Protein backbone atom coordinates (compact mmCIF):
# COMPACT_ATOMS: atom_id res chain seq x y z
CA UNK A 1 0.00 0.00 0.00
CA UNK A 2 2.76 2.46 -0.78
CA UNK A 3 2.03 5.36 -2.99
CA UNK A 4 3.84 5.56 -6.28
CA UNK A 5 3.03 9.01 -7.58
CA UNK A 6 5.73 11.62 -7.77
CA UNK A 7 4.25 14.33 -5.66
CA UNK A 8 2.25 14.77 -2.52
CA UNK A 9 -1.37 15.63 -3.27
CA UNK A 10 -2.81 19.10 -2.90
CA UNK A 11 -5.24 17.80 -0.31
CA UNK A 12 -2.42 16.46 1.84
CA UNK A 13 -0.50 19.73 1.71
CA UNK A 14 -3.55 21.74 2.68
CA UNK A 15 -4.32 19.42 5.56
CA UNK A 16 -0.75 19.54 6.90
CA UNK A 17 -0.77 23.31 6.82
CA UNK A 18 -4.16 23.45 8.51
CA UNK A 19 -3.14 20.91 11.16
CA UNK A 20 -0.08 22.83 12.29
CA UNK A 21 -2.28 25.79 13.14
CA UNK A 22 -5.61 24.23 14.06
CA UNK A 23 -4.96 20.63 15.08
CA UNK A 24 -5.89 19.23 18.48
CA UNK A 25 -2.29 18.96 19.56
CA UNK A 26 -3.14 18.78 23.26
CA UNK A 27 -4.72 15.32 23.12
CA UNK A 28 -2.96 13.10 25.68
CA UNK A 29 -1.76 10.55 23.12
CA UNK A 30 -0.10 13.25 21.07
CA UNK A 31 2.35 13.94 23.88
CA UNK A 32 5.33 11.67 24.53
CA UNK A 33 4.56 9.74 21.36
CA UNK A 34 5.63 6.11 21.53
CA UNK A 35 4.45 3.12 19.55
CA UNK A 36 2.95 1.71 22.75
CA UNK A 37 0.97 4.84 23.54
CA UNK A 38 -0.21 5.20 19.94
CA UNK A 39 -1.28 1.56 19.97
CA UNK A 40 -3.37 1.89 23.15
CA UNK A 41 -4.97 5.10 21.95
CA UNK A 42 -5.80 3.72 18.52
CA UNK A 43 -7.46 0.65 20.01
CA UNK A 44 -9.51 2.74 22.43
CA UNK A 45 -10.50 5.11 19.64
CA UNK A 46 -11.93 2.36 17.43
CA UNK A 47 -15.61 3.27 17.01
CA UNK A 48 -15.31 5.53 20.04
CA UNK A 49 -15.25 9.30 20.23
CA UNK A 50 -12.23 11.24 21.44
CA UNK A 51 -14.11 12.80 24.33
CA UNK A 52 -15.15 9.41 25.65
CA UNK A 53 -11.66 7.93 25.34
CA UNK A 54 -9.63 10.62 27.13
CA UNK A 55 -10.33 9.63 30.77
CA UNK A 56 -9.96 5.91 29.99
CA UNK A 57 -6.68 6.54 28.19
CA UNK A 58 -5.27 8.58 31.05
CA UNK A 59 -6.22 5.95 33.59
CA UNK A 60 -4.78 3.14 31.47
CA UNK A 61 -1.50 4.92 30.78
CA UNK A 62 -1.16 5.94 34.38
CA UNK A 63 -1.47 2.28 35.40
CA UNK A 64 0.57 0.92 32.48
CA UNK A 65 2.85 3.69 31.16
CA UNK A 66 4.80 1.43 28.83
CA UNK A 67 5.08 -2.08 27.42
CA UNK A 68 7.23 -3.19 30.32
CA UNK A 69 4.54 -2.26 32.81
CA UNK A 70 1.83 -3.87 30.72
CA UNK A 71 3.73 -7.10 30.20
CA UNK A 72 2.95 -8.42 33.68
CA UNK A 73 -0.75 -7.51 33.58
CA UNK A 74 -3.37 -10.24 33.57
CA UNK A 75 -6.50 -10.19 31.44
CA UNK A 76 -8.79 -9.31 34.34
CA UNK A 77 -6.79 -6.19 35.22
CA UNK A 78 -6.97 -4.96 31.65
CA UNK A 79 -10.70 -5.67 31.45
CA UNK A 80 -11.22 -3.79 34.70
CA UNK A 81 -9.63 -0.69 33.20
CA UNK A 82 -11.92 -1.12 30.19
CA UNK A 83 -15.13 -1.17 32.25
CA UNK A 84 -17.53 1.38 30.79
CA UNK A 85 -15.66 1.85 27.52
CA UNK A 86 -17.39 -0.94 25.61
CA UNK A 87 -16.34 -3.39 22.89
CA UNK A 88 -14.54 -5.45 25.51
CA UNK A 89 -12.90 -7.73 22.97
CA UNK A 90 -10.52 -4.85 22.43
CA UNK A 91 -9.21 -5.27 25.97
CA UNK A 92 -8.85 -9.01 25.57
CA UNK A 93 -6.99 -8.45 22.31
CA UNK A 94 -4.62 -6.03 24.02
CA UNK A 95 -3.86 -8.78 26.50
CA UNK A 96 -3.26 -11.28 23.69
CA UNK A 97 -1.13 -8.86 21.70
CA UNK A 98 1.15 -7.98 24.60
CA UNK A 99 1.72 -11.69 25.20
CA UNK A 100 2.80 -12.05 21.57
CA UNK A 101 5.00 -8.97 21.77
CA UNK A 102 6.65 -10.48 24.83
CA UNK A 103 7.18 -13.93 23.33
CA UNK A 104 7.95 -13.05 19.70
CA UNK A 105 9.39 -9.52 19.79
CA UNK A 106 11.40 -9.43 23.02
CA UNK A 107 8.83 -7.07 24.49
CA UNK A 108 9.64 -4.35 21.96
CA UNK A 109 6.73 -3.06 19.93
CA UNK A 110 7.21 -4.42 16.38
CA UNK A 111 8.47 -2.01 13.74
CA UNK A 112 7.13 -3.42 10.49
CA UNK A 113 3.61 -3.05 9.16
CA UNK A 114 3.34 -6.78 8.52
CA UNK A 115 4.23 -7.68 12.09
CA UNK A 116 1.96 -5.03 13.54
CA UNK A 117 -1.10 -5.87 11.45
CA UNK A 118 -0.92 -9.50 12.56
CA UNK A 119 -1.39 -8.57 16.22
CA UNK A 120 -4.89 -9.28 17.58
CA UNK A 121 -7.21 -6.29 17.39
CA UNK A 122 -5.07 -4.45 14.87
CA UNK A 123 -6.34 -4.24 11.29
CA UNK A 124 -5.24 -2.32 8.21
CA UNK A 125 -6.24 1.08 9.47
CA UNK A 126 -4.88 0.82 12.99
CA UNK A 127 -1.60 -0.62 11.70
CA UNK A 128 -1.38 2.25 9.23
CA UNK A 129 -2.00 4.76 11.98
CA UNK A 130 0.73 3.27 14.17
CA UNK A 131 3.23 3.29 11.28
CA UNK A 132 2.38 6.86 10.32
CA UNK A 133 2.06 8.42 13.76
CA UNK A 134 4.56 6.49 15.85
CA UNK A 135 7.23 5.73 13.24
CA UNK A 136 6.42 8.45 10.72
CA UNK A 137 6.52 6.00 7.85
CA UNK A 138 3.71 6.77 5.39
CA UNK A 139 0.80 4.33 5.35
CA UNK A 140 -2.82 5.09 4.53
CA UNK A 141 -5.58 4.80 7.10
CA UNK A 142 -9.32 4.54 6.58
CA UNK A 143 -11.32 5.49 9.62
CA UNK A 144 -14.69 7.22 9.67
CA UNK A 145 -13.05 10.66 9.40
CA UNK A 146 -10.92 9.82 6.39
CA UNK A 147 -13.88 8.16 4.72
CA UNK A 148 -16.02 11.24 5.18
CA UNK A 149 -13.40 13.81 4.18
CA UNK A 150 -12.20 11.95 1.11
CA UNK A 151 -15.61 10.77 -0.07
CA UNK A 152 -16.85 14.34 0.00
CA UNK A 153 -13.69 15.80 -1.49
CA UNK A 154 -13.77 13.32 -4.38
CA UNK A 155 -17.56 13.02 -4.45
CA UNK A 156 -17.66 9.25 -4.25
CA UNK A 157 -19.99 6.93 -2.32
CA UNK A 158 -19.40 6.31 1.34
CA UNK A 159 -21.98 3.66 2.09
CA UNK A 160 -19.95 0.96 3.86
CA UNK A 161 -20.23 -1.45 0.95
CA UNK A 162 -17.25 -3.52 -0.08
CA UNK A 163 -17.04 -1.64 -3.34
CA UNK A 164 -17.06 1.79 -1.75
CA UNK A 165 -14.53 0.83 0.93
CA UNK A 166 -12.18 -0.48 -1.71
CA UNK A 167 -12.49 2.71 -3.70
CA UNK A 168 -11.86 4.80 -0.58
CA UNK A 169 -8.79 2.77 0.37
CA UNK A 170 -7.39 3.57 -3.04
CA UNK A 171 -8.08 7.26 -2.66
CA UNK A 172 -6.70 7.30 0.88
CA UNK A 173 -3.55 5.71 -0.46
CA UNK A 174 -3.37 8.22 -3.27
CA UNK A 175 -3.60 11.16 -0.86
CA UNK A 176 -1.21 9.80 1.76
CA UNK A 177 1.87 12.01 1.45
CA UNK A 178 5.51 11.07 1.75
CA UNK A 179 6.32 14.19 3.70
CA UNK A 180 4.81 15.27 7.02
CA UNK A 181 3.00 12.01 7.48
CA UNK A 182 2.51 12.62 11.21
CA UNK A 183 0.75 15.95 10.68
CA UNK A 184 -1.25 14.68 7.74
CA UNK A 185 -2.59 11.61 9.51
CA UNK A 186 -3.56 13.48 12.65
CA UNK A 187 -4.77 16.39 10.57
CA UNK A 188 -7.20 14.54 8.35
CA UNK A 189 -8.79 12.99 11.42
CA UNK A 190 -8.99 16.33 13.21
CA UNK A 191 -10.51 17.90 10.14
CA UNK A 192 -13.12 15.16 9.92
CA UNK A 193 -13.94 15.46 13.59
CA UNK A 194 -14.02 19.23 13.98
CA UNK A 195 -15.05 20.66 10.58
CA UNK A 196 -16.14 17.98 8.15
CA UNK A 197 -18.85 16.73 10.53
CA UNK A 198 -21.25 14.03 9.55
CA UNK A 199 -24.14 16.48 9.70
CA UNK A 200 -23.78 20.17 8.89
CA UNK A 201 -20.12 20.33 7.90
CA UNK A 202 -18.58 23.73 8.48
CA UNK A 203 -17.44 24.11 4.87
CA UNK A 204 -16.87 27.84 5.20
CA UNK A 205 -13.73 27.37 7.30
CA UNK A 206 -12.51 24.16 5.64
CA UNK A 207 -9.02 24.31 4.11
CA UNK A 208 -10.26 22.04 1.30
CA UNK A 209 -13.27 24.13 0.32
CA UNK A 210 -11.86 25.34 -3.03
CA UNK A 211 -11.29 21.87 -4.45
CA UNK A 212 -13.89 19.84 -2.57
CA UNK A 213 -16.40 18.39 -5.01
CA UNK A 214 -19.15 18.31 -2.45
CA UNK A 215 -18.68 21.71 -0.85
CA UNK A 216 -21.98 22.94 0.57
CA UNK A 217 -23.83 19.84 -0.39
CA UNK A 218 -23.79 16.98 2.05
CA UNK A 219 -23.71 13.54 0.52
CA UNK A 220 -26.32 11.48 2.23
CA UNK A 221 -25.40 7.92 2.97
CA UNK A 222 -28.00 5.58 1.57
CA UNK A 223 -28.84 3.07 4.20
CA UNK A 224 -32.40 2.14 3.40
CA UNK A 225 -32.56 -0.95 5.54
CA UNK A 226 -32.55 0.29 9.09
CA UNK A 227 -33.96 -2.79 10.71
CA UNK A 228 -34.46 -2.57 14.42
CA UNK A 229 -32.40 -4.47 16.91
CA UNK A 230 -34.20 -7.34 18.61
CA UNK A 231 -35.04 -7.03 22.28
CA UNK A 232 -33.73 -9.64 24.67
CA UNK A 233 -35.18 -10.14 28.14
CA UNK A 234 -32.62 -11.00 30.76
CA UNK A 235 -33.38 -12.10 34.31
CA UNK A 236 -30.56 -11.75 36.79
CA UNK A 237 -30.51 -12.85 40.38
CA UNK A 238 -28.12 -10.96 42.61
CA UNK A 239 -27.22 -12.29 46.04
CA UNK A 240 -25.89 -9.77 48.47
CA UNK A 241 -24.44 -9.91 51.92
CA UNK A 242 -23.68 -6.53 53.43
CA UNK A 243 -21.30 -5.00 50.88
CA UNK A 244 -20.47 -8.21 49.02
CA UNK A 245 -22.17 -9.27 45.81
CA UNK A 246 -22.25 -12.67 44.16
CA UNK A 247 -21.02 -12.33 40.57
CA UNK A 248 -20.36 -14.77 37.74
CA UNK A 249 -17.99 -14.54 34.81
CA UNK A 250 -19.93 -14.62 31.56
CA UNK A 251 -18.63 -17.16 29.06
CA UNK A 252 -19.59 -18.03 25.49
CA UNK A 253 -22.15 -15.27 25.22
CA UNK A 254 -23.16 -12.96 22.45
CA UNK A 255 -22.51 -9.92 24.58
CA UNK A 256 -20.46 -8.92 27.61
CA UNK A 257 -18.34 -12.05 27.22
CA UNK A 258 -15.68 -12.29 29.88
CA UNK A 259 -17.30 -9.72 32.16
CA UNK A 260 -18.70 -10.22 35.67
CA UNK A 261 -22.47 -10.04 36.13
CA UNK A 262 -25.13 -11.44 38.46
CA UNK A 263 -26.38 -14.95 37.66
CA UNK A 264 -28.71 -15.19 34.68
CA UNK A 265 -31.68 -17.37 35.63
CA UNK A 266 -35.12 -18.15 34.24
CA UNK A 267 -37.87 -16.38 36.21
CA UNK A 268 -39.52 -19.58 37.39
CA UNK A 269 -36.33 -21.41 38.14
CA UNK A 270 -35.48 -21.84 41.83
CA UNK A 271 -32.36 -20.20 43.15
CA UNK A 272 -29.34 -22.47 42.81
CA UNK A 273 -28.40 -21.63 46.36
CA UNK A 274 -30.24 -21.55 49.69
CA UNK A 275 -33.47 -19.64 49.36
CA UNK A 276 -34.16 -18.62 52.95
CA UNK A 277 -34.65 -15.15 51.62
CA UNK A 278 -34.15 -12.18 53.87
CA UNK A 279 -35.34 -9.39 51.60
CA UNK A 280 -36.07 -8.88 47.95
CA UNK A 281 -35.73 -5.90 45.74
CA UNK A 282 -36.47 -5.82 42.03
CA UNK A 283 -34.71 -3.52 39.60
CA UNK A 284 -35.74 -3.09 35.95
CA UNK A 285 -33.58 -1.34 33.40
CA UNK A 286 -33.43 -1.04 29.66
CA UNK A 287 -30.02 -0.94 28.06
CA UNK A 288 -29.06 -0.68 24.40
CA UNK A 289 -26.13 -2.56 22.90
CA UNK A 290 -24.86 -2.23 19.35
CA UNK A 291 -26.93 -5.18 18.16
CA UNK A 292 -29.46 -5.87 20.96
CA UNK A 293 -31.87 -4.00 23.19
CA UNK A 294 -31.65 -5.50 26.64
CA UNK A 295 -34.64 -5.56 28.96
CA UNK A 296 -33.00 -6.41 32.25
CA UNK A 297 -34.64 -7.50 35.46
CA UNK A 298 -32.51 -7.98 38.55
CA UNK A 299 -33.89 -9.62 41.68
CA UNK A 300 -31.79 -8.92 44.73
CA UNK A 301 -31.60 -11.26 47.70
CA UNK A 302 -30.13 -10.23 50.99
CA UNK A 303 -28.25 -12.75 53.12
CA UNK A 304 -26.70 -12.62 56.56
CA UNK A 305 -23.46 -14.20 55.45
CA UNK A 306 -21.69 -15.10 52.25
CA UNK A 307 -21.95 -18.77 51.27
CA UNK A 308 -20.33 -21.22 48.93
CA UNK A 309 -21.93 -22.73 45.83
CA UNK A 310 -21.84 -26.15 44.26
CA UNK A 311 -21.40 -25.16 40.65
CA UNK A 312 -18.96 -25.43 37.80
CA UNK A 313 -19.41 -21.78 36.96
CA UNK A 314 -16.76 -19.29 37.84
CA UNK A 315 -18.10 -17.08 40.61
CA UNK A 316 -16.87 -14.63 43.23
CA UNK A 317 -18.19 -12.65 46.12
CA UNK A 318 -17.05 -9.19 45.21
CA UNK A 319 -16.90 -6.47 47.80
CA UNK A 320 -18.27 -3.16 46.64
CA UNK A 321 -14.94 -1.52 47.39
CA UNK A 322 -13.24 -3.92 44.97
CA UNK A 323 -15.46 -3.64 41.94
CA UNK A 324 -12.86 -1.53 40.16
CA UNK A 325 -10.68 -4.62 39.97
CA UNK A 326 -13.04 -6.53 37.69
CA UNK A 327 -14.30 -6.16 34.16
CA UNK A 328 -18.00 -5.37 34.35
CA UNK A 329 -20.68 -3.98 32.04
CA UNK A 330 -21.49 -0.34 32.70
CA UNK A 331 -25.12 -0.82 33.84
CA UNK A 332 -24.26 -3.63 36.25
CA UNK A 333 -21.47 -1.63 37.84
CA UNK A 334 -23.77 1.38 38.18
CA UNK A 335 -26.45 -0.65 39.94
CA UNK A 336 -24.03 -2.18 42.43
CA UNK A 337 -22.51 1.21 43.16
CA UNK A 338 -25.95 2.50 44.13
CA UNK A 339 -26.87 -0.42 46.38
Residue 52 in contact with DNA, rule: CB under 7 A: yes
Distance CA 192, CA 315 (A): 45
Closest residue by Cα to residue 12 from 167, 130, 188, 205: 188
Distance CA 11, CA 4 (A): 16
Residue from 67, 78, 101, 129 touching DNA (CB under 7 A): that is: 129
- 154 catalytically annotated: no
Q: Find the shortest distance in angstroms from Cβ 296 to DNA.
A: 10
Contacts (Cβ under 8 Å, ≥6 apart) of 43: 90, 93, 94, 121, 122, 126
Nearer to DNA, 73 or 219 (CB): 219
Total residues interacting with DNA, rule: CB under 7 A? 62
Closest residue by Cα to residue 128 from 113, 143, 108: 113
Residue 41 in contact with DNA, rule: CB under 7 A: yes
Residue from 9, 11, 12, 29 touching DNA (CB under 7 A): that is: 29
Residue from 4, 26, 49, 321 touching DNA (CB under 7 A): that is: 49
Backbone angles phi, psi at 281, to 5 degrees: -135, 145
Nearer to DNA, 197 or 274 (CB): 197
Distance CA 173, CA 170 (A): 5
Residue from 1, 50, 54, 73 touching DNA (CB under 7 A): that is: 50
Nearer to DNA, 133 or 239 (CB): 133
Residue 58 in contact with DNA, rule: CB under 7 A: no
Contact mark string toward DNA, 270..309, x via CB under 7 A:
-----------------xxxxxx-----------------
Closest residue by Cα to residue 263 from 297, 286, 287, 290: 297
Q: 280 forms bridges with which residues in the sheet?
A: 301
Distance CA 33, CA 61 (A): 12
Contacts (Cβ under 8 Å, ≥6 apart) of 270: none
Q: Find the shortest distance in angstroms from Cβ 280 to DNA.
A: 25
Nearer to DNA, 117 or 303 (CB): 117
Evaluate whether 170 touches 156 at the Cβ level (below 8 Å). Answer: no
Residue 85 in contact with DNA, rule: CB under 7 A: yes
Residue from 7, 25, 198, 242 touching DNA (CB under 7 A): that is: 198
Exposure of 170 by Cβ count < 10 A (0-12 exposed, 13-18 middle, 19+ buried)?
middle
Residues that bind DNA (CB under 7 A): 24, 27, 29-30, 41-42, 45-52, 84-89, 93, 120-127, 129, 143-145, 148, 161-162, 186, 189-190, 192-193, 198-200, 221, 223, 226, 228, 253-257, 287-292, 329-331
Active site residues: 42
Amino acid sequence: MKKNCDQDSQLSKQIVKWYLKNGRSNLPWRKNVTAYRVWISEIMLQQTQVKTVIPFYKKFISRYPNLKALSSANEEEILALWTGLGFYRRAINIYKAKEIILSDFKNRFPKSFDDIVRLPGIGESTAGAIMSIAYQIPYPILDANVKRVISRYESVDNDSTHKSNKKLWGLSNKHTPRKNIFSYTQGIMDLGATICHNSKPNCGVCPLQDDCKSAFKVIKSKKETKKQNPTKKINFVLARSNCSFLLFKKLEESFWEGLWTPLELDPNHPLPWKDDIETIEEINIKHKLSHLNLDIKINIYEYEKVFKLKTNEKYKWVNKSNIDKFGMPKPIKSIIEKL
